[in-house]
């Protein structure tokens, strides 16, 4: 499902995660949990292999083959976990960046409005002064 969610569908125009965005986060969380379980299971399998080789149940050659397979599982799961963490961090960085851009845009518009308000005040003050001058004549 994760691959079917487009990046543009994960956030609304205000920089908030949509339901699809939260779904993506949940999917990433589940994938991370599965990767962690693979690591735990591989470690348990390595302990069992060590017991078996120490008790003479399996040969040293079989032990080395199986141990290498478990190490590969751990490395793959660790790499996947890292990639998923990066993906999650990227999602949050994009969200924060979008929110920041929107806030900056709002600040710029308020600054512009304040500037226009000051210009109007100065113009109004100038008109009132000229009206006083006209009345005085």
- Triad 83, 89, 92: Cα angle to 5°: 145
Q: What is the C-alpha separation between 15 and 26, in angstroms, rounded?
A: 18
Q: Break the chain into its structural domains and give their ranges.
A: 2-110
Report the candidate in 95, 109, 89, 111 with the shortest Cα–Cα distance to residue 13. 95
Model pLDDT, residue 121: 94
Model pLDDT, residue 54: 95
Here the tokens at position 24 are 């993506």
Model pLDDT, residue 90: 95
Model pLDDT, residue 1: 47
Model pLDDT, residue 13: 87
* pLDDT, one tens digit for every residue, the chain (137 residues): 455 667 778 898 888 999 999 999 999 999 999 999 999 999 999 999 999 999 999 999 999 999 999 999 999 999 999 999 999 999 999 999 999 999 999 999 999 999 999 999 999 999 999 898 888 87
Buried b (16+ CB within 10 A) or exposed e, 7-32: eeebbeeebebeebbebbbeebeebb
């Amino acid at each position: 499902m994760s691959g079917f969610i487009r990046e543009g569908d994960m956030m609304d125009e205000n920089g908030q995660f949509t339901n699809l965005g939260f779904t993506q986060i949940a999917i990433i969380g589940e994938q991370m949990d599965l990767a962690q379980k693979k690591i735990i299971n591989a470690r348990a399998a390595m302990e069992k292999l060590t017991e078996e080789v120490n008790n003479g149940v399996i040969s040293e050659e079989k032990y080395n083959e199986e141990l290498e397979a478990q190490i590969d599982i751990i490395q793959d799961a660790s790499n996947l976990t890292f990639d998923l963490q990066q993906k999650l961090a990227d999602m949050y960085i994009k969200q924060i960046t979008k929110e920041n851009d929107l806030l900056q845009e709002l600040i710029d518009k308020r600054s512009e409005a304040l500037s226009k308000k000051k210009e109007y005040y100065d113009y109004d003050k100038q008109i009132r002064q000229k009206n006083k001058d006209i009345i005085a004549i």
